[in-house]
Amino acid sequence: MAVAVVAIAPIWSVRYLPTVDGPSHVYNSWILHSLLRGVHGPIAEWFRIDWRPNPNWIGHAVMSLLMFVVSPIVAEKVFVTGIVLLFLFAMWRFTGAFDERNHIYAFLAVPFAYNLLLQNGFYNFCAGTALYFLIVAVWWQRRDQPNARTIALVATLLLLCYFSHALPVILSMASIGLLWLLTLRGRPLAVHARHLLAFVPAAP
């Protein structure tokens, strides 16, 4: 917990986050927020919400909703804080997926929380990257439990990952697919195959 607090301190120590694409994400979120509020004028004349289930939605959706209670500047900081904390949590789960004694190695990932992609402002991709490690860790820990809860949990995480970025969800499904094949030996195929149902919502 202390490490997580220290990790997010840089975000709240400045007025504006010095990222490359961050301002454009905030601007797009503000436009989305304005359309959700039903404002009239140039914004409503030139923009409309595309409700199709496209990827790269998560950042704009979260920040636009946060803008109902905080300023755009704070909304961006809250979302980036969420990305960093999600990454740290995902690495904690990932390192301990095989053996909980390996949690200590999660601290090696802390310096990578502020990677070049995050500094470039690729918020959606960074969220998807963190979700990738979380999804693989969750599936591995529940590989012997192909029940409804496991399927629903993995399917939900895959959908969240899809709405963050398409590439991490493809890598997640490929990684789970490979691990599924490697763990097939000694397990009833009909039972083990239930895990693949988690791919159904995101696959289309």
Q: Is residue 56 part of a domain?
A: yes
Q: Residue 204: inside a domain, yes or no?
A: no
For 29, 110, 126, the CA distances from 168, given in Å and listed in that order, are 22, 20, 9
Task: Give 52's DSSP letter.
Answer: S
Residue 22 lies in a domain: yes
Whole-angstrom distance, CA of residue 85 vs CA of residue 190: 37
Query: Average of pLDDT values for 123-142?
Result: 97
**Domain presence at residue 36:** yes
Split into its structural domains, the chain has a count of 1
Task: Judge contact between 195 and 180, C-beta under 8 A.
Answer: yes
Q: CA nearest 30: which of 79, 85, 72, 87?
A: 72
Does residue 1 surpass a pLDDT of 80?
no
Determine the Cα–Cα distance for residues 19 and 159; give it in Å rounded to an integer: 27
Q: How far apart are CA 14 and CA 36, in angstroms?
A: 29
> Nearest to residue 63, comparing CAs of 43, 34, 33, 83?
33
Whole-number Å distance between alpha carbons of 60 and 165: 12
Average pLDDT, the chain: 94
Q: What is the pTM of this model?
A: 0.93
Q: For residue 153, is it within any domain?
A: yes
Q: Which letter does DSSP use for residue 101 in this model?
A: G
pLDDT at site 100: 87
Range of the domain at 105: 2-199
- Confidence band of 2 (pLDDT split at 50, 70, 90): confident
Residues 143-172: tens digit of each pLDDT: 999 999 999 999 999 999 999 999 999 999
